Structure 1
Amino acid sequence: GGVLNPAAARSPDGRLYLLPRLVAAGNYSRIGLARVITNRHHVPSRVERMGVVLQPEAPYELNGRSGGGVEDARVTYFKPWKLYLMTYTTYGPHGPRVAAASSIDLIHWRRIGLLRFAPHHGVDIEAVDNKDAVLFPEPVKAPDGRAAMALIHRPIFDGVAGFLDQHHQPGMWLSYAPLGKLAGPKQLLFGQHHLLASPEQGWEQLRIGAGAPPLRLGDTWLLLYHGVSGRIAEGIDQQQAVRYAAGMLLLDTRDPRKIVHRARYPVLEPELQTERAGIVPNVVFPTGLDVPRANVLDVYYGMADSRIGVARGRLADLMAISAG
């Protein structure tokens, strides 16, 4: 097993927590909780483990093959509702699907259920495999002009008849749930689906998927994502011939369907021994962002499906890319 792919968020008292995927035998996954502890130089150095916050219990999280799974959480603090919202991948009887949970303190979580999607050109998105879902931290303007919660996710349309056949390389989709008078997440229905980005470069040729939830940088949203190259073997959970690297998009805050900038090259790729050797070798998989102080960005990511790493960069550098 491994401890990997953590969500990252700050609690109401300002402490930083990670919510990693905890993998046991048979690829059975739970979601844990750990508090980040920094050294005297204010650099993250270790964690205090605080147990498990979510494990496979609901019917949509259970299956007869591995027992089930809840994995690869991402956490967003949604300001209008004063709620932490977790999106995560479930491994139920029909394959991977996207579910959500909510919390007021990052420690105690309540299931919301599987996310609901309106059909897209006759295709039932709820019936296809889906992963890598992230929520925006504030309402955005939907294509129909209404204020909405926005979700980036990665449905896989393999074998689906019609125009979606062209999307054989899984990409990131943007969907909207109008907020209206909704006071909470249970009534959300995501629609107005838009293909945000598909693989373009060689390092992301097989598929791409969202990394950490979007972070506002001035007039843009910073979105880290993962890109996969290599070869995928059918029917194997822990691939051995793939390579995961991290890319970057900047989206327009007025209309997140518009990509302001897309980095041609990875911003993070497997270089360290701990990233190149592990349960799945050659993997960096970003899932959490933190801004510990002005102009500093920490990226929390999974290393080779085995452990957790953190990389530090300067926000000013990303802003310069945005301006240029």
Structure 2
Amino acid sequence: FRPYNDFFERTILCNSLVWSCAVTGRPGLTYQEALESEKKARQNLQSFPEPLIIPVLYLTSLTHRSRLHEICDDIFAYVKDRYFVEETVEVIRNNGARLQCRILEVLPPSHQNGFANGHDSNVDGETIIISDSDDSETQNSSFQNGGKKKNAIDPLLFKYKVQPTKKELYESAIVKATQISRRKHLFSRDKLKLFLKQHCEPQDGVIKIKASSLSTYKIEEQDFSYFFPDDPPTFIFSPASRRRGRPPKRILISQEESIVNKQTVTGYRNKTAKERDRLLKQEEMKSLASEKAKLKREKADATNSIKKQQGDKEREKLREEKRKYMEHLKQWSKPRE
């Protein structure tokens, strides 16, 4: 910077609480705090489990919420007790030791004639159902209407075929859901919310996945049975958020942009002026405090010098009296003629 005023204004701007994190959207930060927040948020995004990206986005496409934290709560409640293929988890062995494994396949309960990661399970023989006529009519009508929706299977009933990351232990094994857990802080509510912020946006009052994320991960071409051998969940429906009151008057785009620019410039100038006044006031207070301390020191030095002079006079007086007394004793001790 050549002129000092430019440097002064830039310093005030960097130290002002007008910055926000580009990743999390957190406002009210200084420039340095915003940079640190962005760095930390990007590190959290990089540590998000890759096998969960497509399942989480697919589950997000099934939601109909107007607020992001509601979607986050729905998906976190569903995913926290379920594990997906290629995910790295910790398996508790019979001796209590924890072993890192990779999930190869999700196995549904044996009484469910469903899917196992998108593949039909083989059923030996045929199943014959004997029922009354009324039941058969009801069943036929339900099939005509598309069938009744099945209840979601308890996630603790699923089993998982896992393989240790260290292959020298053994090839693979089938474990219960109660023996599996994710590593701590690997999948948390805050990390999920941060991930959804990067891939979602409001559309007509409802939070939806961005078109770029849909095309990148091909969410519309995915099948839920490939991720998990159960019916897709049905999340709570919440209506689109609408603002109360009359709609605002339409303004031309150029006028609106000029108004926004003027407001931004005015706000920036006001904040800069306030910061400058505050810093000048702090400098004045510091100078007054330093002058006051200087006067106090000078007064203390003067008092000490006066006391020192008085002490020197007292000592000189005592020495003079002692000298006279010694002369008097000397005269007294002389032999008399």
TM above 0.5, yes or no, is: no
TM-score, scaled to structure 1: 0.20
**Bigger proportion of residues as helix:** 2
TM-score (norm 2): 0.19
| Higher CA-based Rg | 2
Greater RCO between the two (CA within 8 Å, min separation 6)? 2
Between structures 1 and 2, the one with greater strand share: 1
